[in-house]
């Protein structure tokens, strides 16, 4: 159970919102990690670059231009003026754990603990959802087609919500 000091330091929801899916991995971006750790992004990246042997490709990777454009279009990355001069880095759960070895402040230690807990919660949620789907398929095989509507409705509820695309530009009041 998280201690109160850590919970007050970084809300679990803030960490969970920073975990995104890229290249079939759950990752956190360097900018989000820097905010959580209370350091500048460039300081975090410098520390990583000084310790590159600790970060193989499955622990950390730099985003491509296409991935960056996709994240910007989904508003995962801020669009503030000026921006960065280099592409962001993404850290897997193991990469975040490795960061604890190079960022040694008390805050970094506490934040790292909470991040690890968030990754575990996410894994648990995903596995329970997969288990639920497996059990639903087993039940579906036992019943005839009259229950198909019920099974379809349950599957629809299990699907993640689609985010509607916001229209960009001036909107006339009569449209």
- What pLDDT, in 10s, does the model give residues 98-144? 988 888 788 888 888 888 888 888 878 777 777 777 777 777 777 76
Domain boundaries, the chain: 4-127
- Greatest CA separation for the chain: 63
Is the pTM of the predicted complex or chain greater than 0.95?
A: no
- In this prediction, residue 144 carries a pLDDT of 65
For the chain, residues with pLDDT lower than 70 are 1-9, 75-83, 144-148, 151, 157-175
4-127: CATH number: 3.10.260
Q: Residue 71, Cβ neighbours under 10 Å: how many?
A: 17
* Burial category of 134 from C-beta neighbours within 10 Å (exposed 0-12, middle 13-18, buried 19 and up): exposed
- In this prediction, residue 41 carries a pLDDT of 92
- In this prediction, residue 106 carries a pLDDT of 84
In this structure, what are the phi and psi dihedrals at residue 70, rounded to the nearest 5 degrees? -65, -45
Of all residues in the chain, what percent carry a pLDDT higher than 70?
74
| Spatial strand order in the sheet of 25-29 | 20-22, 25-29, 89-92, 60-62
- In this prediction, residue 48 carries a pLDDT of 95
- In this prediction, residue 1 carries a pLDDT of 47
Find all residues with CB under 8 Å of 47, minimum gap 6, and list them. Answer: 102, 103
């Amino acid at each position: 159970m998280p201690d109160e000091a850590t919970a007050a330091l970084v809300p679990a929801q803030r960490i969970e919102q920073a975990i995104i899916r890229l290249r079939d991995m759950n990752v956190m971006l360097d900018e989000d990690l820097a905010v959580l750790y209370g350091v500048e992004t460039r300081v975090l990246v410098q520390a990583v670059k000084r310790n590159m042997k600790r970060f193989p490709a499955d622990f950390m990777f730099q985003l491509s231009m296409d991935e960056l454009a996709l994240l910007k279009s989904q508003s995962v990355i801020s669009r503030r003026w000026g921006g960065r001069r280099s592409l962001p880095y993404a850290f897997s759960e193991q990469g975040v754990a490795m960061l604890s070895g190079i960022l040694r402040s008390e805050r970094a230690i506490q934040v790292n603990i909470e991040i690890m807990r968030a990754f575990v919660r996410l894994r648990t949620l995903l596995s329970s959802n997969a288990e639920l789907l497996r059990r639903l398929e087993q039940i579906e095989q036992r019943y005839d087609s009259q229950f198909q509507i019920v099974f379809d409705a349950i599957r629809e509820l299990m699907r993640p919500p689609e985010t509607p695309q916001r229209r960009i530009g001036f909107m006339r009041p009569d449209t």
